Structure formats: C-alpha cells, structure tokens
Structure 1
Amino acid sequence: MTLPLNLTGAFYPTYKGLNPTFSADTFACAEQTVRELLETATTSDHPGMLLGKVQSGKTRTFISTLALAFDNGYDIAIVLSKNSKALIEQTAKRLNSEFAHFVSDGELEIYDIMHAPESFGAFELDSKLIFVAKKQSDNLRRLIELFSEKCPAMAQRRVLIIDDEADNASIGYSKKDGLIEAKKIATQISDLRSAISQTSFLQVTATPYSLYLQPSEIEVENVTTFKPTRPKFTALVPVPSAYVGGDTYFGEAARSQEDTLESLLHHTLDHNEFTRLKKEDRRSFNKEDVLTTPAVKGFRHAIVTFIVGGCIQRINGVRDGQKEKKLRYSFLLHSEAGREAHDWQEVLAITLKKKLIEAAKTDAPILRELIQVSYDDLRRSLQLAGSSVPSLEEVFDAARNAITGDHISITKVNSDDDVAAMLDNSGQLRLRSPLHIFIGGQVIDRGVTLASLIGFYYGRRPNRYQQDTVLQHSRMYGYRRPDLAVTRFYTSPAIRHAMFQMEEFDTSLRAAIESGGDHGVQFIRSGGNGQIVPCSPNKILVATTQTLRPFRRVLPIGFQSGYRTGANGIGATIEALDVSLSELCGFNTDEPTLVPLETALDLLSRTEPTLQFDEDDAPPFEWEAARAILRHLANLHSDPDQRGQVWLWAARDRNSARMASESSHATYIETPDSEKTEGRLTRTHAIDHPILFLLRQDGTTEKGWRGTPFYWPLIRAQRNTPTAIYTAEIIS
C-alpha cells in the first residue's frame, strides 16, 4: 500500500520556497526517496541509495529529502561523513546555511557530535535534531553512548541515518589494516542502528562500483555475472544539462580527432614535468628561468592560460551585466601528496607570478608571446561554443592589469586545518581574488568544492589507481557548463588513458544499475591456463580494466615500429604475415573472412614483437589481455557449435601518422581505423563473432615511423557482447 506523503508540513514547502532555483526533478527525487524510506525497511546492509555523480548535486537532493522527512514522522537525522575535519565542517556549514530559517525559528538544531551536549531534555527533543558525525571510531562511539546511555528517550524517536560518500564507509580494498578498520566502522554503524528503535538508512554515493563489492567473507565460485549488492531501492539524483562530468571529459567526444569543445579541454603534459614539480633540482632548471625554460612548459602554459581564460570570462561577464567583484575563478594544481612537493610548487608559482609582473612592467616581448599562445588556444573553443571572443588587445590589457594589479592569489592547501579555515558559508573554498591558484594534495578531495574552476593540472600517479579515489580527485566536475570553453585539464597521456578507462568502467556499471531489473555485469580475468575465469569485483584493479561492450575497440597506441633489418628486424615477420593474410582473407576485400580463434590468436601474437613501446608515457598495452579478450569474445555465441571463430579482415597501403597533430589534445594517433570502412564492416558482420583487423601501414619516416611497413592490430567486439569488466591484474 502506498502511503500518502505529507507535502504541506512545516519544513518542506518552506524549504522549496526558499530554493526556487532547485529543479522540479530534484524535489521529485526527494519525494520518491522519502516515499521509499517510509514504505521499505532499510538497513546498513540493505540501504536505500541515492546515486548521483561527482559534484552533481547529491547534497542538495539529500537535504531536500531531509526537509521532507521531518514533515513525515522523522524526528532526528544523523549525517555520517568522511573521516575529514574539513569535510565535517563543510557539511555542518552547508546544513546550517540550508536550514538557517528553521534554526533561527527554534524548529531545528544542528550539532557536530563531538561538540554536542551530553544529554537532551524533553523541550529540546520537541525540536528536530541533526547530528553530523565522521565515520570514525570516536565519533560513532559518542553517538552510540548518546542514544543508548545518556539519552534513552532519544532512542525512541524515528531516526534517518544518511551515509554521505557511502563508497568511503566500508571499502578498503588494498590495505589489510584499512579493511579491518572499515569492518570496525561498519560494526559500529550496526550497533548504532541497534540502539535506536526506528531507523531508516540512506546511502549517498557517486561511485556505483561500491554497489558491486561483495562482502569479503563470502567466496563466490564459478559465477561470472555479479549483480550489484542491491539496495532496497535506488533513487537517481537528477543530472541537469548544466552538469559537466566524466562523459564530458572522457566520453566519445573527448576522443575526437576533430576539434570539439570536449577534446579541447585536454592539454597533454610531458610526464617528466611531474618529477620536476616534486622538488627543486637545479640540474634540471633554475627557477629564475621559469618564464622561458622548456622544463616546466606545461606548468607555465597552464597558469598563463588560467589568467587569460579568467580575464576573458570577466570581460564577457561585465558586458553581460554581471558584477565585476563577483567574477572570480580558480585553478588547482594537484600532482603530489607530499608537503615538500607542495612547498616547492608554491615557490615555483610565486616565482612565476613575480617574473610575469616584471615582464608586464618592462613590456618584455615574452609576456605577449605567452598570452598570444593561450589566447589562440582558448579562442578555438570559444568559437566552437558560440561565445563572445574579446580582441587580443583587450585580453592582453586585462591580463597585464591582473598581473600587475595583484589580482592573482596563490594558496597552498595541505591539511584539514587549511581547508577548514578557507571554507566560505556555502562550504566552498573561499576565492579571495579574481584569479585564485590552489596547490594541494588529496585533502582537496571528496566533497570539497572549488567555485568556477577553469584550470586543473593533475599529476597524481598512484601505483594502483582506485576508482573512487581518482573519481573524487576530479574536482573539475560540477555545474560548470558556462565556463567550459575556457576550461583546460592538464595531465600526461598515461594518466588520461587510465581516466578514460575508468569512465568506461563507471558508465557501464551505472547503466546496469539505472536499467533496473536483473541486469548484471560480468567480472572476468585470465586464468593460469589462458582461459577466462570469473573474478570477484573485490579483486578488480581499476587501472588494468578493459570494459567490454558492443563494438568496443581494443588496440595498441603510442608504440614505435621496429626496424626492417638488424638483430630484431621485423622485415621477415611482416613478409610472412603478408603471405599468411593473402591466403587467409586477402586485402581490402568487401567482406571479412571467418577463421578459427587459434588462427586469429596466432596472427595477433605475430604482430607483438614488431611493435615497440619505448616511451614512458605511452599507454600500456597488455598483449596477454588482448588475447584473453579475443578468446572471451569468440566464445560468447549463443550456439555452442559456432563458438571459437573470429572475423578477419586486412588492409594494405595505409599511411597513418604516429603522432597526433600539434593542435590535438592527444599525443599519439589513436584511430588507424575509420568508421566508414572498418566501422561499417564491424556493424554489418560482427553480430555474434568479434572481428580482428590487421591494417598494414607503410610506416614511412615522414609519418614518424622507422621507414618499414608493419601491421597495426585492432580487435572490435561483436554487437551481442554483454557488458563485462576484464582485469589484467588482480589485488592479492
């Protein structure tokens, strides 16, 4: 039976009226959530779920949910937040700001549990209460004591527990100590629930991966399809068109070889620059040469482009009638966790600012050169977006005035205390000047928001990328559409490749959850005998995943071809492949040829020694993984008699370049194939069998190769491919 919701109570209608900019979808989501909470028994094992995206408005949705819950029988809310002083202060500030009207009327009190009274009297319990607590042992112990010992009357009230950033609560999947601590927190949350007579449990997360993690004490054997550990219900936080997220930064449009707004966001860095930003090394460069040295070219370009982009937005904003003082923009440099590195980066940024001031005051040509390069870069995306493009002279004057007028702030943020001191009343980092550069580590992480972020220099290189960690470092996500044309993201090819992989991974899991019903996702890995075997999602190492879905491309990029002759010459191998392919399928034919899986695997393996991955920043290509994926795809046919076969098609006289163009966001060419030829063949023929393309390149020196032909292999999944997550490496 559907219970009627009270939509006319003391809290919800007033809260809606105070927030006219919130979308109808946000309030509809809140209403759906409260209706589900009232009708469904939820626990920490089987919670209700609010699934959003990073910085997509999850907090405004759960606060709207809270307001409605208070009108529908809930007396107390407990908001559990990440174990971070800064984030707990941010959460408390946000709640106090959102509910200020009710707090001033005495209808509601909000407490940090560590600063809450020891007990509460009957008069106090007549008001609604919100407790904010860290997911940390002492905080949870205080909560348990309050409800079970100090104020037993409170335990008789109806309580809503909201686990914010739920993916961080009980998932620690590489450190044994972390896992033990996580279990302890989960146990305390369970104890808290047991102390209260009527509780509902709502998790709020942006990482659907967390839903797939199985309880660690359960061993799952011989199962390839894992269904999410189903919440009792999932409410999807609405994502308006103004939101900019992973699909913008790492979706198909961002891969385009043509200019798109999304592809122009990306600026490729030399990975060696990260080392130079780790600590001062005068053998590498002298900081006094920061305006001209090639050693930190990317860093310099990022800062100057931020200044130019901010000035363009300020010029356009004033023309549109906005108040000049309100037009403030931020830039984030996050490449290292260590404080020593932050100190050096701060010194370097301050030195760069000083040198820019000197250049501006002396009319040094270098300043115009730097601004011109950044202006030309941003003009391309502004024109694509249909935005107004101020003249170069106008932008140059504005940038020079910003530099000499002390409109640029540089702030190092490397502790919870730093963050807490810088938060404004809305819980965002305060921008003290029109152009504010933040330098920091992971403390500027989950939940901390930077307003008007238009530049992000990202160089964190964890040995083992974890999905929720890297997603939460993505501070450039959020409601940033108006600034997108002047926004730039700076990182190395290898990190960008990993982030593209993660976005595919995230999108596939989210799609399975959003489709509802019984949809699952396969988690697979290679067994010791080369066979594909099931893999517990707990073991997935995200950076080594390949997301398999219909028509997915698997190919090496960033390699160099071998030499024709010499000790490791490839000439004879290529000639032998020419003969084999002539006999098997011919070249540039109208249709592919169906061949046994073992034949396709042999051809793929014969190309392996002809391609060399010499560059440190080349995205890694796992040949063993490629073979395992081809095996997996070839054995998906619904008819067992048709399994173990692969379509094969070969081309010759191709002439792809090795490196992408200067203006491209990519370093290396990533598309030796075309949708017109290989794409059409795939869509027409690869229905139940995968297809292997072998594209014979001329390999000329003019195109960046070594003057000898080679084969570029490319696997494409068939149309009838169930979503699967393949991992090349597992966590032991």
Structure 2
Amino acid sequence: MTATFYNLKTDGSFFQYLNRKNQYKQPVRECMLRTIANLEDMRTTEHRPGMLLGKIQSGKTRAFIGIMGLAYDHGFDMVILLTKGTNALVKQTYARLQEEFKGAIEHDAMRVFDVMSMPENLRKYELSQKLALIVKKETRNLDRLREAVMEKYPQLQDKRVLFIDDEADFASVAYEHKRDNNIKQMRVIASKMNDLRKMLNRPAFLQVTATPYSLYLQPEQMKIHEGKVFEPIRPAFTELVPVHDRYIGGEVYFDKSEKDGHLASYLYHEVEEKELEVMKKMDGRRVKMDRLLTQKNISNIRKAIINFIVGASIRRFQQRLKGRREQKYSFIIHTERGKQAHSWQAELVQAFEALLIEGAREGSKELYHLVRESYDDLIRSVRTLKKTPVPEFEDIYADVRHSLDEEYMVSSIVNSEKDVNELLDHKGELKLRAPMNIFIGGQILDRGVTIHNLIGFFYGRNPKSFQQDTVLQHSRMYGARPIADLAVTRFYTTQKIYRVMKQIHEFDRELRHAFERGGHHQGVVFIQRDLNNSILPCNPNKILLSNLTMITPHKRMLPVGFQTGYKTHIQKTIRDIDQFVDRVRKNARISKEGACLIPVSDAKKILTLIHATLEMEEGHDFHLDEYEGVLDYLGAESGDEPYVWLLTKTNRKIRRFKQDGKYENSPDTPGKGAGELAIAKKIAQQHPALILLRQEGKKEDGWRDSPFWWPMIVAQAETAPTVFANKTI
C-alpha cells in the first residue's frame, strides 16, 4: 500500500456523490484509493501505465468510474476514456457516464462528450469544468481528439489528464505479428495513442482489462526496425478489482462442473463438429426444413432452442409464484463471422419457431416429448437449489404452449453497426423486446455491449489458433447472474472448444494467483519442448493458448473421452505393459502406501505402450509428447535424478460413461473412500506420481471386452505454477 493512501480524501464532491449513489463496499473503495495513490506516487507513462485488472464482466467499469470521481477530487481536470471499436459501446459508455455523474453535470461541474460529436465552439466556461472525453480506439476518433487538443482547444494541453484505456489489450499492445517478414511492428492505433499522450504536459495512464496477457507477456527489450523504436507496454503497477458475490466465472464452468451432482455439472452440452458445419450455410441435402423437430444432425441447436424456451418458462413461473415481476431472457448464437451464415441461422431459428408454434396450437406429441426431455434436463439443476421452487412438468408445458401461441419468442441478427444501433435501448444496451430473445451474431456481440438475463450460449467460433482475450469474451458466459438463472442456463459448444476454454481458465487463474502473491514477474514458469526433446524456457509471447497445459501443485493429467482398441489388436501390448509394470515394481522399493519410485524413462515407456491401446473420440486428445514433456519437467524439478512415484491398481470395473451421459473422468475414485488420487497427493511431494489403473474393460460397461490401463500424472506439491507450451507460434 502506498504512503499517500491514507492521505487521500473520500469526501470530495465527485466521489462522495458516486459513493452515496453506488454504496461501494470497502474492498472496492480501497482498490479505487490504491489506484489513485499509485497514479499520484508513480510516474506512469504510455509505456509504463497503471493496470486495473478485473475479471470478465465483473464490475471493472464500475471501478474505473469510481476512480474517475477520485481523480477529479484530487486535481485531475480531464479523463480521456478510450473504448473498444464499436459505436454501440461508445453509446453505452456515454449513457453510463451521463447517468453516473448526473449530479455534477446538472450543477455545471462536469461535461461528458463523445469526441466525434463535440461542439465546434466550446466556451471557456465549459472548458473550465471537469471533462470526460469518450474516444473510440479507431483512427478517425483519434485524429479528432488530436485536432481538439492541438488545434481547437490548445489550453487542454495544460490540463491534468488521466487516460483510461478500457480493454487495454484489445488495441493498445505495442506489437503485432507481420507474417511476410516476421517483424513485430507497432500498430497504427497504438502509435497514434502514444503520440497523443506525448502532447500533454501532465498525463497519467491507467489501463483496464480482464485479459492482460498480451501486455504482461511482451518482450522486455526494445526492437528497432527501419529507424523506428518499438517499446513494450508493461504496467507500472497492478490493482486487482474485487469480485462481487454474484459473479459467475470460470470456477463454475470449469472447476465446479467436474463435481458430480453440483449445479455446474449440468451446464455444458457437447456439440459435434459436424453440426457446426450445418450452421455455416444452407444445404438442402443436410437440412429438411419440414423435419427440424426430428432431424438428427441438428439435434443440439434444436435442444438449445427448446431448453431456452423451457428455461425461461421455468424462471418466469417461479417469479410469478413469488409474486415478482416476470423477467425477459436472452440466448446467444455465435458460431460464424459471416453475414451469410447469420442469415441462414436466422432462417433456421425462425423455421424452428414456426414449427413449435404450430405444435403448441395443435398440442402435438412431438412438442410434448421435446418439452419433456428439456424439462427433465433442466430440472436436475433446479433441484440442487434448496430454497427455489420446483415447478411440475404440466405447469411448465402449459406455460411453454402459451408462450409459443402468444409469440413470446423473437430472434434478431446482430452483425453490423446499423443493426446494433437499431437494437439498442436508451442506455446503449441490447433491448429485450419479448420474454424470450435470441440474438444471432458475430464479433459485435463479443464484448462490451450489455445483454441482460442470458441463460443460453451456443458457441462455435473455431479459429486455427485461439486468443485468450477473445474466446471467453465471445461466449459471454461470465458475469453477474442470479443463481436461479444459472440453474436453467446451458452452454453448448464442441469438446475441442470447451477444452481450450478450460485451459485458458486455468492459465488465467494461475496468473491471477501470481498477482495476488505479488510475484507475477517470476511467479509463473513458461516452458516448451525443443526439436531435440529438451525442456527449455519458453518465450511466453509465443505460446498458442490452444496448445498449453497448466501445471500446478497436485494438478492431475489424464486422457478422457476414448475407447480401447479391439481386443485382438491390443492384447499383446496389454501383456507387454503388464510384464513391464511387474518388472519395474520388483526392482523398486515399495512404500507403505503401495507406491514405488521409478525412473521417468520407465514411466515414459509405459505411457508409450498405453498410448497405442487407446482410441480418442472426436474433440478429445492424448498427446504423448505432451505427457512425456510434462513428466520430464516434473522429474527434473525434484532436484535429483528424474524419478516418479508409480501407483498401480488392478481389477477395476469402471463404466465408460457417467449416468448423465458424459465420459468418465475420475477413474481414481471408485466407490466410496479416498481413492488413488488422495494417496498420490500424499506421496507426491518432491516427485510427481503416475497412477496406473488396470480396467477390465467389460462390454456391459461400454468398452470392447478387453482389459486396458488408464494412466494419470499427478504433479508434486513442490512445483511452481508452470505453463507447458506443446506448440509455439
């Protein structure tokens, strides 16, 4: 905490008004105060800004508006607020500032302007007030700002100015990758922003983001090319925005979801890759518009739409039961960028709606069975909430029929500035026109524009390389939402995308832990395997986030989503594994827990044999080189010869699928009791552990009637948080 923290005033007119209006909690107030204290104490520059780090949809805007109030009370005259590049977000930001600073504006103490619509003849009286300029991170906006500061109102150059760069990683990173000559060059927008900052006599700089990796993971050295100096933008200080108690983030979608019976375990529904292909363009051979309610190759989009209607009906029934106002709900379909695909998806959704309305009015058996299936799915998670009423099926079925008959559902394409502006309300937020709103769109839906009461996400953007700052934003999964809404929420994507999202979440979580420890400059290790199969430090700026593995103390790695090879094909290999395991155990000392310490080289041989016996399903991977690389790294971390604890169990009879239809992912916890994972965590202190579970693989359990070995690596307790990059850029 800085020395001036306790000297800052909180009774200034701006902050006092905001605090009274918003009732900031103490952790949030202290975050705001620390940020202002750091801006006062440290010389922030365009290359060493302050950083306000929040989680996606977690209240970052609320926090930096409070910081604006404190800034005005402590001598700052003007805030230049840089927003993401959409007119919709500018409109939303303008409306938000007008509302938050309403009192100051009414008393002529402050003015808020969109830089593109600033008056041509601002008077000295107006310029003497506190100013907030909203500037879209786009060339024309930045040129207009430069014109205002340098030509029309040069007196602004002497003002004390605070730059707040919202979603800082989005446009203000100093480097970009140029494919033709592999040279990193400064982006035009970043260059213009830096030039503007240099024009001012007393600027301070604050960046706001939830995805800071492109900022923190840049090279330290300057790059010089064609006479230009390229300097990395790295934060001078970092403040973490406290997360409020209504926040739903990656911990729910990717951590708690692995607990059987937990509300979160019902959220994810897997979509097959081939169904995303159907969503790309109209194809009369694949989709029969009169058979949408029964056709198999569109089962997930059908399930998503029905679940949305049923989920909204459940929530509205619960609200009506409690005498509360019935809410409107929304659902996003985001699979493609192209407008042609959006038009086809809108046609598909409208055709679904027409058939559902017809079924509702006729009381068709098809509709009854679809609603029943959806109700049975959603009610499982509703029942996990003890104080939430659980409606009967017949009540919900009646509500669904009524909703369809009265045309409660509306779908809208959102894929251009014009479309968004037509759909925005007076606050710059997407209007919910009806009780059930489906938004079909592309990039404009990805971040910033507020969409209320989202209970459905159908996501299928599948780029060749995933960027952390876009994938999670696109899906709009995170944010403040009532737990009762979460109970009827469902998320639909492919296993591949889901797995990448989970990896990114783990990466995000560990980097945040490093910030909280105060050691983010050295708190996360980046490694890669080179061409000679050696484990080397990795340039974090070159990692592909879709090809990383996060290693943390006692983190487990195991293949999930596979079938065994046929018995005749793998039985010899299984015998070889049996014999090799027996041999290495005989040559090692057995611990009281039944484990033995073996060389990593022997563990890798076992994994190689096991790898040849398993067939991975679509969207699931078992990369042998990744597992070997992790074992090499963890073994070397022990400081001695690379060894690993081997823990084996035989005669296992685990089923291939869980009761909910998902692939089994916890073979280490059969029945009741601690299970092998607990034993592995106990012994894996200095050395990692390799659990090998010999399954009988019976046909009645979903296998091919052949024994097989299921491996699992468990990292030792004494290992630093590590990013293992299986591939780099």
TM range (shorter): over 0.9
Report the counterpart of residue 279 of structure 1 in structure 2. Answer: 281
What aligned pairs does 1:538-687 form with structure 2 within 5 A after superposition? 538-565=541-568, 569-585=569-585, 590-613=593-616, 615-617=617-619, 619-637=620-638, 639=639, 642-661=640-659, 663-664=660-661, 666=662, 668-674=663-669, 676-687=674-685
Report the counterpart of residue 270 of structure 2 in structure 1. Answer: 268
What is the identity, as a one-letter code, of the residue corresponding to 1:514? Answer: E
Does the Cα contact within 8 Å between 1:54 and 1:477 map onto a contact in 2? yes
What is the identity, as a one-letter code, of the residue corresponding to 1:366? Answer: E
Does the Cα contact within 8 Å between 2:552 and 2:720 map onto a contact in 1? yes
What aligned pairs does 1:151-550 form with structure 2 within 5 A after superposition? 151-171=153-173, 176=179, 182-215=186-219, 231-251=235-255, 253-256=256-259, 258-324=260-326, 327-386=327-386, 387-482=388-483, 483-517=485-519, 519-550=522-553
What is the identity, as a one-letter code, of the residue corresponding to 2:290? Answer: E
Candidates 73, 76, 100, aligned match of 2:75: 73
- Structure 1 residue ranges (4+ consecutive) displaced by more than 6 angstroms after TM superposition: 177-181, 586-589
Does the Cα contact within 8 Å between 2:177 and 2:184 map onto a contact in 1? no
TM-score normalised to structure 1 length: 0.93
CA drift at 1:522: 0.7
What is the identity, as a one-letter code, of the residue corresponding to 2:172? Answer: S
> Aligned with 1:50: secondary structure?
strand
Report the counterpart of residue 5 of structure 1 in structure 2. Answer: 8
Does the Cα contact within 8 Å between 1:501 and 1:547 map onto a contact in 2? yes
Report the counterpart of residue 222 of structure 1 in structure 2. Answer: none
Equivalent-residue separation in structure 2 for 1:571 and 1:80 (angstroms): 63
CA drift at 1:612: 2.0
Equivalent-residue separation in structure 2 for 1:181 and 1:636 (angstroms): 37
What is the identity, as a one-letter code, of the residue corresponding to 1:730? Answer: T
> Aligned with 1:203: secondary structure?
strand
Equivalent-residue separation in structure 1 for 2:85 and 2:363 (angstroms): 50
Does the Cα contact within 8 Å between 2:82 and 2:137 map onto a contact in 1? yes
> Aligned with 1:129: secondary structure?
strand
Q: Deviations over 1:265-319 (max 9, x none)?
A: 1122222211111112222230211111122111111111111111111122123
Report the counterpart of residue 688 of structure 1 in structure 2. Answer: 686
What is the identity, as a one-letter code, of the residue corresponding to 1:45? Answer: H
Equivalent-residue separation in structure 1 for 2:234 and 2:720 (angstroms): 20
Q: Deviations over 1:625-683 (max 9, x none)?
A: 1101100000002x4xx23111112222122222333x24x3x2222222823212212
Equivalent-residue separation in structure 2 for 1:700 and 1:633 (angstroms): 34
Equivalent-residue separation in structure 1 for 2:369 and 2:185 (angstroms): 54
Q: Call closer, same or farther: CA 1:333–1:503 in 2, change over 3 Å.
A: same
What is the total number of aligned residue pairs between the two structures? 707
Equivalent-residue separation in structure 1 for 2:350 and 2:25 (angstroms): 42
What is the identity, as a one-letter code, of the residue corresponding to 1:234? Answer: T
Report the counterpart of residue 44 of structure 1 in structure 2. Answer: 46
What is the identity, as a one-letter code, of the residue corresponding to 2:691? Answer: F
Q: Call closer, same or farther: CA 1:588–1:656 in 2, change over 3 Å.
A: farther
Does the Cα contact within 8 Å between 2:375 and 2:393 map onto a contact in 1? yes
CA drift at 1:179: 8.6
> Aligned with 2:612: secondary structure?
helix
Report the counterpart of residue 227 of structure 2 in structure 1. Answer: none
1:14 maps to 2:12: no
Equivalent-residue separation in structure 1 for 2:539 and 2:435 (angstroms): 49
Does the Cα contact within 8 Å between 2:600 and 2:643 map onto a contact in 1? yes
Equivalent-residue separation in structure 2 for 1:685 and 1:589 (angstroms): 10
CA drift at 1:11: 1.5
Structure 1: 5+ residue runs without aligned partners?
A: 220-227
Equivalent-residue separation in structure 2 for 1:215 and 1:636 (angstroms): 26
What is the identity, as a one-letter code, of the residue corresponding to 2:266? Answer: L
CA drift at 1:153: 0.8
Report the counterpart of residue 701 of structure 1 in structure 2. Answer: 699
- Matched residues, percent identical? 41
Q: Which has the higher contact order (CA 8 A, sep 6+)?
A: 1
Does the Cα contact within 8 Å between 1:413 and 1:419 map onto a contact in 2? yes
Equivalent-residue separation in structure 2 for 1:179 and 1:350 (angstroms): 48
What is the identity, as a one-letter code, of the residue corresponding to 1:607? Answer: I
CA drift at 1:105: 2.8
What is the identity, as a one-letter code, of the residue corresponding to 2:728? Answer: I
Equivalent-residue separation in structure 1 for 2:222 and 2:247 (angstroms): 38
Does the Cα contact within 8 Å between 2:414 and 2:445 map onto a contact in 1? yes
Report the counterpart of residue 90 of structure 1 in structure 2. Answer: 92
Report the counterpart of residue 57 of structure 1 in structure 2. Answer: 59
CA drift at 1:623: 0.9
What is the identity, as a one-letter code, of the residue corresponding to 2:502? Answer: F
CA drift at 1:591: 2.0
Equivalent-residue separation in structure 2 for 1:398 and 1:24 (angstroms): 44
Q: Deviations over 1:666-722 (max 9, x none)?
A: 3x2222222823212212211111111222221222222222212222111111110
Q: Deviations over 1:230-269 (max 9, x none)?
A: 6222221111111111111112x1112x211111111222
Equivalent-residue separation in structure 2 for 1:231 and 1:383 (angstroms): 46
Q: Deviations over 1:199-226 (max 9, x none)?
A: 110110001423432148559xxxxxxx
CA drift at 1:121: 3.5
Q: Call closer, same or farther: CA 1:291–1:457 in 2, change over 3 Å.
A: same
> Aligned with 1:303: secondary structure?
helix
Equivalent-residue separation in structure 1 for 2:384 and 2:183 (angstroms): 48
Structure 2: 5+ residue runs without aligned partners?
A: 224-231
CA drift at 1:350: 0.5
Report the counterpart of residue 712 of structure 1 in structure 2. Answer: 710
Equivalent-residue separation in structure 1 for 2:401 and 2:637 (angstroms): 62
Does the Cα contact within 8 Å between 2:523 and 2:720 map onto a contact in 1? no
Does the Cα contact within 8 Å between 1:588 and 1:649 map onto a contact in 2? no
> Aligned with 1:11: secondary structure?
helix
Report the counterpart of residue 721 of structure 2 in structure 1. Answer: 723
Does the Cα contact within 8 Å between 1:97 and 1:426 map onto a contact in 2? no
What aligned pairs does 1:129-148 form with structure 2 within 5 A after superposition? 129-148=131-150
Does the Cα contact within 8 Å between 1:90 and 1:420 map onto a contact in 2? no
Does the Cα contact within 8 Å between 2:459 and 2:475 map onto a contact in 1? no
What is the identity, as a one-letter code, of the residue corresponding to 1:314? Answer: R
CA drift at 1:402: 0.8
Equivalent-residue separation in structure 2 for 1:218 and 1:557 (angstroms): 44
Q: Call closer, same or farther: CA 1:469–1:372 in 2, change over 3 Å.
A: same
Report the counterpart of residue 225 of structure 1 in structure 2. Answer: none
> Aligned with 1:650: secondary structure?
strand
Q: Call closer, same or farther: CA 1:181–1:456 in 2, change over 3 Å.
A: farther
Does the Cα contact within 8 Å between 1:622 and 1:728 map onto a contact in 2? no
Higher deviation after alignment, 404-413 or 37-46: 37-46
CA drift at 1:341: 1.2
> Aligned with 1:16: secondary structure?
helix
